[in-house]
Amino acid sequence: DTEVTQTPKHLVMGMTNKKSLKCEQHMGHRAMYWYKQKAKKPPELMFVYSYEKLSINESVPSRFSPECPNSSLLNLHLHALQPEDSALYLCASRLEADSSYNSPLHFGNGTRLTVT
């Protein structure tokens, strides 16, 4: 069982829709991540939150808008997506974003997004 919960598991949306992905963890982790993964490719870093503040934005298009309302919750708001944005979106958390803490990433099972 994963300790990071992502909802929904599957999402189909049109290019004009607005939807949100949700990620939740109750392990007391202070760092949360969004990754995008295409088939047969590695997870691609999108955003990093540390102590509820956006720490890293890997030049992600503005049609993806992250939000961290509290230390346990991470959202990804989607608007005007393109078909090429179809992918598995993975959320991960770890104790601290700082590398000196040597903490592993814990992943949720992901949201499979299809943009039509």
Partner 1 sequence: QQPVQSPQAVILREGEDAVINCSSSKALYSVHWYRQKHGEAPVFLMILLKGGEQKGHDKISASFNEKKQQSSLYLTASQLSYSGTYFCGTEMRTGNQFYFGTGTSLTVIP
Residues that bind partner 1 (CB under 8 A): 2, 4, 31, 33, 35, 40-45, 48, 50, 55-56, 58, 90, 97-100, 102, 104-110
Comparing CB distances to partner 1, the nearer of 34 and 64 is 34
CB of 15 to partner 1, least distance (A): 26
Where b means 16+ CB within 10 Å and e means fewer, 84-97 reads ebbbbbbbbbbbeb
Shortest Cβ distance from residue 12 to partner 1 (Å)? Answer: 18
> How far lies 40's CA from each of 6, 35, 56, in Å?
21, 14, 25
CA–CA distance, 83 with 30 (Å, rounded to integer): 33
CB of residue 91 vs partner 1: minimum separation in angstroms?
9
